[in-house]
Amino acid sequence: MTKSLVYDPSGLEHALDHHFLDASLLQQALTHSSYAREAESASNTSGTEARAVGDNEQLEFLGDSVLSFIVSQELFRRYPHYTEGDLSKLRAHIVSARALVRPARQLDIGKYLRFGHGEEKSGGRTKSALLVNALEAVIAALFLDAGLEKVHRFVVEAVLQPSLDELESRVPGALLVTDYKSALQEATQAAGRPQPRYSLVKEKGPDHRKVFTVEVQVPPPLAGGEPLVKRSEGSTKKIAEQGAAQQAWEYLKSLAERPDRVAASVPERSPETA
């Protein structure tokens, strides 16, 4: 079996600001299943008694739950005016694999992982999915070794707050908006545009699982121009309307923040309406 890089998690412990009392927890969190299976196979072929080698899959399962709980708790506390749907969408973004890649790479988790020969050769240390899985496993290990308070602080500082900051910088004020139809109405008034118009474009599926597609059109500020058109799907017309309004609102916000784009930009239309 080709060995991974020398296993020394001290650098990761420093980044986590925690020295593990049970070092085996962190070792397991950093052990990919390919390493564990090869280690077991090697013990079988050596003639010694076969030994089970733990990998990070179970810890990943626990870490995902711990992460989701902490993020849910913080969002509930910070945004009491949000609906359940708003909170769920925000949490889904924060705990998504796409968002978790950043803290995983900032911790340089790939440097500490133990891989088997095949996964090592295929570039496992740089694979986003494996880095995210390892991050969730490390969160579980930190929870088991240090308790909820310690892991809560880590999740807020390394995962939650950077994600919220990124969302706020990309669309200023987005985290304060819960009613995008009202927000879009205000934005169109500020931009000197007529009020948006909503229309049901399509509905599909059985009665108990309907999917509605709603289109919003925001007329141009000057006669002769093309309207801004956005579409969104939802399990109710109201949800679909909010989704379409959010897309249109974010686009108008981006124009307001960059006036140079207003004259040069072509009104954006959804792919379905192009």
Catalytic residues: 64, 136
Q: Rounded CA gap, 227 and 218, in Å?
A: 5
Long-range contacts, stretch 89-93, CB < 8 angstroms, 24+ apart: 90/175, 93/163, 93/167
Say how far apart CA 254 and CA 187 lie, in whole Å: 11
